[in-house]
Structure 1
């Protein structure tokens, strides 16, 4: 699934790369930038955390001329007289204006590095509204954002990821050059697909998917996610063995009638008991009015 996301077959989506302090997702972010440039797309990077030179490190070739860096790293809060781009300019009008200036009327890919910097100075509802408007705009083909999950409240992370069509949560792998990607993808029909893959990033920023995590062995659960077994320390056994389970399935319950028992109850045979009533001479019974003896 990671390879499909790198090919970016679906337009009009929002991709969130969610990382933690244990593993940075910026290398994967640069791989998505490199893949978009190889598809001959215009890429607009709004950089808050690293400089333009550091971002372009590793990106080579003639496709680099289609990469447009909007410097929000030098003066992100607008303290100088002429800031290039500030965090307070993160709105639909300003972003669309900058993209349309250099994209030659062709939808471009917008990269935000990172959303965490913006969320630290702009309220989450405003950021979510801008992302929703941006991914639906005609000037933008797709939006890719880096989000440091351990810097925000879980509700803020959930709100941003809820807008995304795809979320990639990255974590360190077993080897030094490997990482694990937990992918959640939502289709236009509402179907949600999830996958876990082990990948590595080469020097030319190409992504090599090693294998699927569920094929390498049983999934390891974090200690915090493990639920305690309520029947682990009991003095009696609550579980059944295979023999006991088989005997239980063969046991006939008292309130469940078999076919033979139902037939015997519904169809009386010879010798079965019956109640016959013969009126007595003293019985005052009127055939025309059976209820004559009632005081009504």
Structure 2
């Protein structure tokens, strides 16, 4: 699933790379930037946490000219007279105008590095509103954001991730050069798919998927279930032999009526039983007042 997300087939998507202090997701963010550039897409980066030189380090190729870095790293709060981009400009109109300054033949990919920096200075409702407007506005093809989950409250992380079409949570792997990606993807129909993959990087930030631990664990569980027979050591038999099963199928149950019995019950023939009542001499029965014997 990670390889499918890197191909960028879903237009209008919002992908979040969620990391923590134990493992940084910036290398995976660069992989998505590199993949978009190879697809000949224009990429606009709102850089709050690293400089342009550090972000472009390792991104080598003829397509690097389609990468537009908007410097919010030098003066993110606008303390100088001419800031390039500030956190207060993070709104639908400001980002759309920034993207449209460069002539594009098709919508660009917007990369936010990082959403955590913005959420520290702008309220979560305003950030979610801006992200939703950017997705529907048509100026950008897709949005990719880096989110440091351990910097925010659980409700804030949940609110932002709820808007995303895909969330990739990265964690360190068993080996030094490997990492674990827990992926949650929501399709347009509302179906939610989840997967876990172990991956590593090449020198050009190409992602190499090693294996899928969830599938390996599933196969191992199925094998263990097949090998373990819970009825093996019982003192009584829960299974029927072929002869016993055949006798059981031929047995007529007392509450199941055959066709002949139903016919006999529904169509009474001559000589069938009847109940006749003859009033006794002591019966005080008045034809004109049947309820005369009641004390009312």
- TM-score category, normalised to shorter length: 0.7 to 0.9
- Tell me if structure 2 keeps the 8 A contact 1:87–1:121: yes
Superposed, 1:39-58 pairs within 5 Å as 39-58=39-58
Change (3 A) 1:246 1:191: farther
Change (3 A) 1:288 1:5: farther
Distance in 1, matches of 2:139 and 2:280, equals 101
SS of residue matched to 1:64: helix
How far off is 1:106 after superposition?
A: 1.8
- Post-superposition Cα deviations, 1:234-287, rounded to whole Å, max 9, x if no partner, equal xxxxxxx6348976xxxxxxxxxx931677xx98xxxxxx99865321102245
Partner of 2:149: 149
Distance in 2, matches of 1:144 and 1:194, equals 19
Superposed, 1:104-119 pairs within 5 Å as 104-119=104-119
Partner of 2:224: none
Structure 1 position 181 matched with structure 2 position 198: no
How far off is 1:215 after superposition?
A: 3.1
Give the length in aligned residue pairs: 257
- Misfit runs of 4+, over 2 Å: 215-219, 241-247, 274-279, 285-296
Distance in 1, matches of 2:254 and 2:195, equals 53
SS of residue matched to 1:176: coil
Partner of 1:252: none
Partner of 1:259: 253
Structure 1 position 12 matched with structure 2 position 6: no
Change (3 A) 1:28 1:246: farther
Distance in 1, matches of 2:275 and 2:291, equals 22
Partner of 2:283: 283
Q: Which has the larger radius of gyration?
A: 2
Partner of 1:87: 87
Change (3 A) 1:190 1:259: same
